[in-house]
Amino acid sequence: MKKIIAVTGCPTGIAHTFMAEEALKNAAKELGIEIKVETNGAAGVENELTKKDIEEAIGVIVASDKHVDVERFNGKPVIETSVQDGIRRPKELIQKILDGNVPIRKDEVKFTRKEEEKQSVGRQIYRHLMNGVSNMLPFVVAGGVLIAVSFFWGIYSADPNSEQYNEIAAMLNAIGGHAFGLMVPIFTAFIAASISNRPGMIAGFIGGIIANETGAGFLGGIIAGFFAGYFMLWLTKVLSRLPREFEGLKSIFLLPLLGVLLTGTLMTILGKPVAQINDSMMNWLSSLQNANPILLGIVIGCMSAFDFGGPVNKAAYVTGTILLGQGNYYFMAGVSAACITPPLIIALATTIFKQEFTQDERAAGLVNYILGFTHITEGAIPFAAKDPLRVIPILMIGSSVSSILTYMMHVQVPAPHGGFLILPLVTKPFQWVLAIFVGSITGAILYGLYRRNRRRKMGEML
């Protein structure tokens, strides 16, 4: 039996990674092909491909939106694509390998760069950004939740001058603050690393620290990350002309020195101007909370449900995280509500309108209750992928309703993740759950009616 191998990975490493794994395995089974899939999830690499697996394989599928080691596949037919393609087009990807329509991956550096140049600019930028986001998220979640837990002793429990002061709370707040404070440097470092590996990471990390200190935040981090990455890529190419004897001097001295110097200088100059732009954006979004909560809710709801953990969703999430770090807990409440809603819409629809869904869809709907309760938006992807032009707008409506109601009720959520697991930390937990339920049931009814109408039309055609 012919054998192929695959690697899947998504920015958060929670849902897309394993959905692509399952889709590829199912497609391989249908085509009568043996497959082994390595997953690059939140817990790290699982089911790692061995040297023997690679030697036996007739081709490789790399369906990932984060950096993975593809050099090991040199000499094999390799398809490099997005994790979404792994979910939506698994059979097509496998068939390409079977038909012999996949180029052999060569080991020359020049070939690698040419292959990347064939990708669209947007695809390259997205992949590098998502590598930064995926490595940043654990710091955000761990730090944010620890800070939120410290509030159990009072909102000022970490302040030694307050009557609420508690040593345990102060310790948790400090630990969380250190993790939270590394968000931008980690984000920046891994953007740069995605472009130029280790040399980029060093320069990117320093650029991220300066962006943090100057107040340039994530916008500054993006600038520093891409500058460090591409500058180090260019510098590595230039210095590759040096004799082999200077390899140690190049990698240990010249590359880090020049990278840190140039990236640091750039961010020192741009830090304050970028910080002003950053502050203006944050202040405008913050002002919408009271001035126009409906408009803010619509914007956040549509962004959160648009691409299920993709760049648009992450833009809303990162904005909420930034404001969370500034002590604004209202904004994140709406973002969290909007992210929780899509999988709950699917779950409720498959429960209320059972006859409109297949047995497999109903089973997947039950899983979406768990995914929704724990703030994993990606659970809605398999349903949205079947009819995105109709299903995504329905999910956006539901998320917008949840977000609007959350802002109108002035709910505060001090943690950046966790879904209903963080209810004890929410200022108005009942109102927050109610807002999410209203948005979810609204979307579920719309989705269920759409499915019913579609089934009737198909019946009439038959």
Asked if residue 199 has pLDDT above 50, the reply is: yes
* Nearest alpha carbon to residue 369 among 338, 348, 397, 392: 348
302 is catalytic: no
pLDDT confidence bin for 112, thresholds 50/70/90: very low
Is 372 within the bounds of a domain? yes
pLDDT confidence bin for 120, thresholds 50/70/90: low
The CATH number linked to 92 is: 3.40.50.2300
Between CA 245 and CA 255, with CA 250 as vertex, the angle to 5 degrees is 175
Beta partners for residue 41, in sequence order: 44
d(CA 392, CA 443): 10
d(CA 33, CA 182): 44
pLDDT confidence bin for 384, thresholds 50/70/90: confident
Residue where a domain terminates, one of 115, 142, 157: 115
Relative to beta strand 44-46, strand 34-41 is antiparallel
pLDDT confidence bin for 44, thresholds 50/70/90: confident
Q: Is 53 in the same domain as 126? A: no
Q: Is 83 in the same domain as 217? A: no
Asked if residue 406 has pLDDT above 90, the reply is: yes
**Residue 337, pLDDT score:** 92
What tokens were used for 69?
Answer: 């080691």
Q: Is 102 in the same domain as 225? A: no
Asked if residue 115 has pLDDT above 50, the reply is: no
Residue where a domain terminates, one of 115, 130, 150: 115
Is 341 within the bounds of a domain? yes
* Nearest alpha carbon to residue 263 among 224, 229, 293, 217: 224
Residue where a domain terminates, one of 213, 238, 272: 272
Q: What is the mean pLDDT of the chain?
A: 83
Q: Is 71 in the same domain as 159? A: no
Q: Is 135 in the same domain as 224? A: yes
Asked if residue 70 has pLDDT above 90, the reply is: no
Q: Is 336 in the same domain as 434? A: yes
Asked if residue 244 has pLDDT above 50, the reply is: yes
- In 164-283, DSSP assigns E strands to none
CB atoms inside a 10 Å sphere around CB 387: 13
If one counts the domains in the chain, the total is 3
Q: Is 324 in the same domain as 251? A: no
Q: Is 89 in the same domain as 127? A: no
pLDDT tens track for 145-192: 787 788 778 767 888 888 888 999 899 989 988 887 888 899 899 999
List Cβ neighbours of 147 (8 Å cut-off, separation of 6 or more). 172, 173, 176, 177, 180, 414, 415
pLDDT tens track for 1-30: 789 999 998 766 666 788 889 899 999 999
Q: Is 268 in the same domain as 342? A: no
Question: Between 213 and 327, whose confidence is greater?
Answer: 213
Is 280 within the bounds of a domain? no
Is 282 within the bounds of a domain? no
Mean pLDDT of all residues in 84-92: 87
Give the active site residue among 4, 6, 10, 62: 10
pLDDT confidence bin for 108, thresholds 50/70/90: very low
Token pair 């309703």: residue: 401
The answer to whether the predicted template modeling score (pTM) of the entire model surpasses 0.85 is: no
User: Residue 227 carries which side chain, given as an amino acid letter?
Assistant: F
Domain containing 37 equals: 3-115
Q: Is 338 in the same domain as 456? A: yes
Tell me how long the chain is: 462
Q: Rounded to an integer, what is the distance from CA 225 to the centroid of its chain?
A: 17
Asked if residue 324 has pLDDT above 90, the reply is: no
Q: Is 376 in the same domain as 248? A: no
Q: What are residue 80's phi and psi, to 5 degrees?
A: -110, 120
Is 418 within the bounds of a domain? yes
Q: Is 45 in the same domain as 175? A: no
Is 439 within the bounds of a domain? yes
Is 236 within the bounds of a domain? yes
